[in-house]
Structure 1
Amino acid sequence: MHVLVAGCGWLGSAIARRLLFEGQRVTGIRRDPARAAALASTGIAPLALDLAAPGAEARLPAVDAVVACQSATSDTPEAYRAAYLDANRALLAHARRCGARLVYTGSTGVLGQSDGLDVDESSPPMPLGPTAEVLAEAERAIQAAGAAGLGACVVRLSGLYGPGRAGIVERVRSGRLALGAGEQAWMNFCHLDDAVSFVLAAIARGAPGAVYHGSDAAPARRREVVRWIADRIGVEPARATVAPPGPDRRVLSERTRAALGVTLACPSFREGLIPLVPEVRRA
């Protein structure tokens, strides 16, 4: 296959590397020309392109599959619309023209449920705020394309972490992630290696218009995460009197793992963080 990876950053590059390892051809898109050119050294054919710009579609090569994992340049609704609506329109139009499959890496952030209950692939989006509203609109566009006959689907990814992205450890170390108020809230994770597996499985076996959950098998309470990390790095957990904002829900992925045939490398945050966080040796 020839696969177009739109947004060849931290996640996109990992997807591209796995595809190359499996013997596929990959073209990777970055907005910045220098960052795009750097992809060539890894075997990825580089393409410097702003997918939200007029005429972007005309510069895209013929491919068999598209992975839409581009990110916004800032946290404003305008930047989100450019990245997740305008760019996806160009990618969907190109996929139709090529007869290519398309996988959009969405976010479980569209699930703003705060009642502490379970949410699965059939749970309705409850976006909290204007940027999450844009993400929900992007999902609807992908689902509509799937319903119209295009092989397009959504993979919602939970809190991503892995080599090069383990900021949660520093949040515990600095006290920004603490015990106390809000410690009962659920946290949901997906290791980079598993995120790649979910996306590649969706390319191969995803149903048109489907929504999948790329999340591990063991959502954890915030207190469990904080205590485990604090003990491993040898610090006393901070305590908070005000709960941080954000949703509170257990993101389930059993249905997705069964449908796509995905076996997790990191069933919980512990397996994923152990190689990234050296344990403090105590006397």
Structure 2
Amino acid sequence: MTVLIAGCGDLGTEAGLRFAATAHRVVGWRRSPEKLPPEIEGVEANLASAGLPPIPADTTAVVVAVAADSPTEDAYRAAYVDGLERVLNALKRDAVAPRRVLFVSSTAVYGDAGGGWVDESTTAASGGYSGRILREAEELLHGQFHGTETRGIVLRLGGIYGPARTRLIDQVRGGSAVVPDQPRYTNRIHRDDAAAAIVHLMTMKSMPSATYVGVDNYPAELGEVLRFLASELGVPELPAGPAGEPRGGNKRCSNALLRSTGFEFAFPSFREGYREVLAGTGVRHP
């Protein structure tokens, strides 16, 4: 069985390696396929342009894990809506009907909930262009496979951190981190758990739901995370004050539906995850 990963960047590569470890053939579409490890068959492809490569006829699973080139509305639309549409058109062009197609979305579709809880049943109502465009892509996916044997799955990931994703660590270490003077909840997931969730949903025996929230078990107040990192790094007490507009809004995302499928997190909270990242970077305080 062949798994196609369209947009085989950091997250897609980690997922691809996990698919390959379970004896799947993995084809990765990427602008620079030479950067992919040998376990993944790299194929040059640019989802922002027409003329995508042929899709292997035995493809049973497709993962669309794209990223915008810049934080602009045009770049988001080109990546998430237009890119997904080109992949779906390529499936029709080549008459390939996979069992499952998963689109990596974001909890940004929910916008701000004033610190309240959200889950898959919560109406997506983002006030920003990023959430609105991602929601449009989600609807495109589900509309494409409605009434067919192919299952379209949306995985709404929280903030991904991990190897090479060290924004908060860099802020604390560099002295620019500010503890918000008002409580602000954040939701995150380690890169490895995000990749494992993709593989789990694409290979589980029971039929997946249409949408899942992909975050760890502990929606954390940002100040708590920053103080933890400061302690781990041996940084003096952080200043408190206005911290600007929250990234992704102030909300607590529930992963209960994902966990109900039997998925288990390697890093159930930011503490385990960031300790693993710090150990890998060699900058953790003794």
Does the pair score TM above 0.5?
Answer: yes
TM-score of the two chains, using structure 2 as the length reference: 0.89
CA distance in 1, matches of 2:65, 2:163: 18
How much does 1:240 deviate?
4.1
Identity, % of aligned pairs? 34
* Corresponding residue of 2:47: 51
Shift, 1:236, TM fit: 2.1
List aligned pairs for 1:124-163, cutoff 5 A: 124-149=123-148, 150-163=150-163
1:245–1:215: structure 2 CA closer, same or farther, 3 Å change rule?
A: same
| 2:104 aligned partner, one-letter code | T
In the TM superposition, residue 225 of structure 1 has moved relative to its aligned partner by: 0.6
Report which stretch shifted further, 173-182 or 239-248: 173-182
Q: Please report how far the alpha carbon of residue 207 of structure 1 lies from its aligned counterpart in structure 2 after TM superposition.
A: 4.6
Deviation string 1:111-147 (CA, Å, 9 cap, x unpaired) is 1124100011111112232232111111111222343
* Equivalent position to 1:68, from 58, 64, 67: 64
Residue pairs, 1:1-283, within 5 angstroms: 1-31=1-31, 35-39=32-36, 41-56=37-52, 59-62=54-57, 63-95=59-91, 97-100=95-98, 101-149=100-148, 150-182=150-182, 184-205=183-204, 207=207, 210-246=210-246, 247-258=249-260, 260-278=261-279, 279-281=284-286
- In the TM superposition, what whole-angstrom CA distance separates every residue of 1:16-48 from its partner, at most 9, and x where no partner exists? 1111111110111112xxx21232x42211111
Matches of 1:204 and 1:93, distance apart in 2: 24
**Aligned-pair distance for 1:90?**
2.2
Change (3 A) 1:69 1:180: closer
Letter matched to residue 60 of structure 1: I
Count residues in correspondence.
274
Does the CA contact (< 8 Å) of 2:155 and 2:211 recur in 1?
yes
Distance change in 2, residues 1:115/1:47 (3 Å): same
Structure 1 consecutive aligned stretches of length 4 or more whose deviation exceeds 4 Å: 206-209
| Partner amino acid, structure 1, of 2:55 | L
> What one-letter code is carried by the residue in structure 1 that aligns with 2:152?
A
Q: Is the 8 A contact 2:34 2:42 kept in 1?
A: yes
Name structure 1 gaps, 5 residues minimum. Answer: none
Letter in 2 for 1:228: F
Letter in 1 for 2:119: D
Deviation (angstroms), 1:208: 6.7
Deviates more, 1:7-16 or 1:42-51: 42-51
Label 1:19 to 1:171 Cα distance change in 2 as closer, same or farther (>3 A): same
1:208 to 1:193, Cα distance in 2 relative to 1, 3 A: closer
Stretches of structure 2 lacking an aligned partner (at least 5 in a row): none
Q: Is the 8 A contact 1:142 1:209 kept in 2?
A: no
| In structure 2, C-alpha distance between the alignment counterparts of 1:146 and 1:194, rounded to whole Å | 27
Conservation of the 8 A alpha-carbon contact between 2:216 and 2:269: yes
**1:187-220 Cα shifts (integer Å, max 9, x gaps):** 1111112111211122124757711011101111
Separation (CA, whole Å) in 1 of partners of 2:208 and 2:277:
36
Cα distance in structure 1, aligned partners of 2:276 and 2:8: 24
Normalising by structure 1, what TM-score? Answer: 0.90
Q: 1: distance between equivalents of 2:147 and 2:155?
A: 18
Residues 157-166 or 198-207, more deviating: 198-207
- Partners of 2:26 and 2:83 in 1: how far apart? 19
SS at match of 2:258: helix
Provide the alpha-carbon RMSD of the alignment. 1.9
Q: Distance between the aligned counterparts of 2:163 and 2:258, measured in 1?
A: 24
